[in-house]
Chains A and B, each alone.
Chain A
């Protein structure tokens, strides 16, 4: 995954300072979440505060307020880091993705530590904490593959990538038009050559069945129009056009 939250408009010292502030905020938020979780695990793994209930397990001091606050502060800091990192260029925006492994592996560590060394009066291994511990470590470790040496997350987010192959309608249309013109040109030239050959042999053209003068005129006009279209399209040179036009007119006159 590549993040590009702000585009590449260059960066100033203020952008760099805000990027570092995002890292400080994110690290602080993760630390508070980690400490708060340990405090809750210390009293058995669950607690409650507030509401019109009789609470059996009160939360450790400050945790009920610090835990949600640190989650939102962490999300805000991660956003700041990704935004400013994309302005810095290079792999810096992608570094925010490390927050995921940092969160899950550190919390997984808490689960595992408390599973193997549960607070008294529990003894032995706490399966209820061992399983989430293993799951958290796996969830945190898998995205780290992208951060292995040469992994995709180290690649610069602003490296120009190869343009994706797009279907070029304009080029396709142009090619079709040129093909049609080429066919028309070769057909017309073949016709003219055949007619000249017949004329030289003193015969009537093969295609020219006895026709009325009106049909002949329409045929000549149509030929001249085709010639003119080919000339305008650049398929015929000026000399070819003049020669073909003269031949067509001569044929009609003759």
Chain B
């Protein structure tokens, strides 16, 4: 697998991180609703 040394592009990372947070919150709600 190719290994890069420069940090990833900041703008792309901002989008990915915000998307990951939103997905995480939705997953949390879904797990809570399913198990409680």
Q: A-side interface residues toward B, CB under 8 Å?
A: 8-14, 16, 20-21, 23-32, 35-36, 39, 60-63, 65-66, 70, 88-90, 92, 95, 156, 158
Contacts and interface: CB of A to CB of B under 8 A. Distances in A.
Contact of A92 (B1, B13, B25): B13
A29 B21 CA distance: 11
B21 A23 contact: yes
A88 B7 CA distance: 5
B35 A66 contact: yes
Interface in B1-15: 1-8, 10, 13
Contacts of A60: 36
Given A8-B5, A60-B36, A62-B36, A20 B27 contact: no
Contacts of B3: 9-12
A158 B6 CA distance: 10
A61 B36 contact: yes
Given A10-B4, A95-B17, A36 B32 contact: yes
Contacts of A28: 24-25, 27-28, 31
B2 to A, nearest CB: 6
